[in-house]
Structure 1
Amino acid sequence: MSDYILDVRGLSGGYDTTQIFSDISLQIAEGESIGIFGPNGHGKTTFLKTLSGLIDPWAGDIFFSGQRMNREGERGSRRWRNFNYDAVTRRRIDPKAVARAGLIHVQQGNLLFPELTVDETLSIATTAAHGRKGWSLPEVHALFPRLHERGSHKIRFLSGGERQMVSMAAGLMAAPKLLILDEPTLGLSPKVRQELCDAILSVRKLGLPIVLIDQDVAFLEQIIDTLYLFDHGRFSGRMEKEEMPDHQTLMEMLFGEAH
């Protein structure tokens, strides 16, 4: 039995005929959390979507909690004219199976159903737990008191920060064994950003492993054990928490001194 909760081997992927990342290997031990730092548009989000099954991998292997998540082998060609690959080929990974296994992905952006209330959204989230014990409604209310006040409000009437709180609360109620957070504080005001940062830190202190993308190095340093630099569709560096430099130095490592 592997000691890794997530074991990614030679993973490649992208959209349609455009490859975004290639030959990525990543191992995360039980109880470990990692951060991914890099420029926008270089494939970080696409990589995470592939891990959680939202996008089919092109090649490579994803093992989670000792279970293979994707079919073996490389995907077929999409290059033939007038040929709909997806119509005749079943998906190489099932996102429902990934969620049921406990790999829960809180995506970047506002992807909630706007006409549902906060309480309705959170009640649906528990169906992904698949028999595992996730966070209860009182527990997420304690983490995000504002959600208790907004329980009967439709998602479309919430602020951006409140919607992000709902997204993260839903992820916790899905009983994650590993929680992926893709830039959870992007675009938020400093006050709300700090609220989200404090909440994520509280979750991490409870021992839940996290994969976190964020542009705030000081925040990453509080959460993670290991930082990976992501550049042009690949990992270009790896460092332990105690080796992490400041934001300026990381930017120079990625772009050079004249960035």
Structure 2
Amino acid sequence: MTVLLEVVGLSGGYEPVQIFKDVDFAVEDGACAGLFGPNGHGKTTLLRTISGLIDPWSGSIVFDGIQLNTPGERRTRKSRNLNYDLLVRRRMDPKKVARAGLIHVAQGSPLFPELTVAETLSIAPAPARAGGRAVDPDLPFSLFPQLKERRHSKTRFLSGGERQMLAIACGMLAAPRLLILDEPTLGLSPKLRLELASAIHAIRQAGIPIILVDQDVGFLRDLVDTLHVFDHGSISRVLSKAEIPDHETLMADLFGGVH
């Protein structure tokens, strides 16, 4: 398969604290790459950096053959009393990233609370890449029939599961070449987790590559081709689907078993 996303030697964080260092990560076209690791070890920060929401400190992010970030190392802030981003041009443009087709559905499904479901879906295609493929406007309702019933409801009145469905639907309407899903099942019931797993499987069947983060190895194992274990700001191992252990075994490997 062709490598669609290639991250090499990527380092970053929130100045002055470095969160991750020298991360190498690749996603093949048509594949689903899982990312698993303890809370607070930098998974979300890594994904926010890949999608351009946070400037990378060093390394390269190449998507579909094009480097998205400015080469070289980021300069250090000279003063904590100045807004660095007002003085120095950003090294990565998240709008350019989205238009290239790298679409990030962030953790916590951030949405506009006063917009209805229908209004939210109507603006979702805005980040779509220039000249990108047309997306069926009824796609959200085929993936998540509940959204059709709730299309006139404001998003602040939706349940947690419905908000997550809406966030993923918005990501799909943006015509992704690669879809990043950061903990889409966080805080959801087992029933809703199964519904989301079915929707993610349907997205996979449509040939859209995915980066999927979740805290349940069993959930990931059913959907991914490879599992990247993220530990203390770096990828400690990459497991094929056949090598992925159960949740308890992997957690014991990370934190030590009970003897």
User: 1:1-259, aligned counterparts within 5 Å?
Assistant: 3-130=2-129, 131-258=131-258
For residues 143 and 81 of structure 2, the distance between their equivalents in structure 1, rounded to whole angstroms, comes to 51
Cα deviation for residue 202 of structure 1 reads 1.4
For residues 142 and 37 of structure 2, the distance between their equivalents in structure 1, rounded to whole angstroms, comes to 33
Cα deviation for residue 137 of structure 1 reads 2.3
Checking the alignment, whether the CA contact within 8 Å between 2:30 and 2:204 is kept in structure 1 is no
For residues 189 and 243 of structure 2, the distance between their equivalents in structure 1, rounded to whole angstroms, comes to 29
Unaligned runs of 5+ in 2: none
For residues 253 and 65 of structure 1, the distance between their equivalents in structure 2, rounded to whole angstroms, comes to 35
Supply the AA of the counterpart residue of 2:139: E
Unaligned runs of 5+ in 1: none
For residues 70 and 39 of structure 2, the distance between their equivalents in structure 1, rounded to whole angstroms, comes to 29
Supply the AA of the counterpart residue of 1:122: L
For residues 169 and 81 of structure 2, the distance between their equivalents in structure 1, rounded to whole angstroms, comes to 43
Supply the AA of the counterpart residue of 2:98: A
Cα deviation for residue 82 of structure 1 reads 3.0
Deviation string, structure 1 residues 50-83 (Cα, Å, up to 9, x no partner): 0000111011110101111011111111153534
| Count of matched residue pairs | 258
Checking the alignment, whether the CA contact within 8 Å between 2:22 and 2:234 is kept in structure 1 is yes
For residues 166 and 86 of structure 1, the distance between their equivalents in structure 2, rounded to whole angstroms, comes to 32
Checking the alignment, whether the CA contact within 8 Å between 1:134 and 1:176 is kept in structure 2 is no
Supply the AA of the counterpart residue of 2:81: N
For residues 62 and 83 of structure 1, the distance between their equivalents in structure 2, rounded to whole angstroms, comes to 28
For residues 197 and 214 of structure 2, the distance between their equivalents in structure 1, rounded to whole angstroms, comes to 11
Checking the alignment, whether the CA contact within 8 Å between 1:227 and 1:238 is kept in structure 2 is yes
TM-score, normalised to structure 2, is 0.96
For residues 38 and 100 of structure 1, the distance between their equivalents in structure 2, rounded to whole angstroms, comes to 29
Cα deviation for residue 123 of structure 1 reads 1.2
Q: Secondary structure at the match of 1:169?
A: helix
Cα deviation for residue 253 of structure 1 reads 1.3
Checking the alignment, whether the CA contact within 8 Å between 1:37 and 1:227 is kept in structure 2 is yes
For residues 134 and 16 of structure 2, the distance between their equivalents in structure 1, rounded to whole angstroms, comes to 38
Are the structure 2 counterparts of residues 217 and 81 from structure 1 closer, same or farther at C-alpha, using a change threshold of 3 Å? closer
For residues 22 and 214 of structure 2, the distance between their equivalents in structure 1, rounded to whole angstroms, comes to 23
Deviation string, structure 1 residues 111-141 (Cα, Å, up to 9, x no partner): 1010111111111111111331253221220
Checking the alignment, whether the CA contact within 8 Å between 1:42 and 1:231 is kept in structure 2 is yes
Supply the AA of the counterpart residue of 1:145: P
For residues 200 and 172 of structure 1, the distance between their equivalents in structure 2, rounded to whole angstroms, comes to 11
Checking the alignment, whether the CA contact within 8 Å between 1:21 and 1:232 is kept in structure 2 is yes
For residues 183 and 80 of structure 1, the distance between their equivalents in structure 2, rounded to whole angstroms, comes to 35
Deviation string, structure 1 residues 166-208 (Cα, Å, up to 9, x no partner): 0000000000011000000100122222111111111112221
Checking the alignment, whether the CA contact within 8 Å between 1:24 and 1:235 is kept in structure 2 is yes
TM-score, normalised to structure 1, is 0.96
Q: Which moved more, 1:162-171 or 1:146-155?
A: 146-155
Q: Secondary structure at the match of 2:151?
A: coil
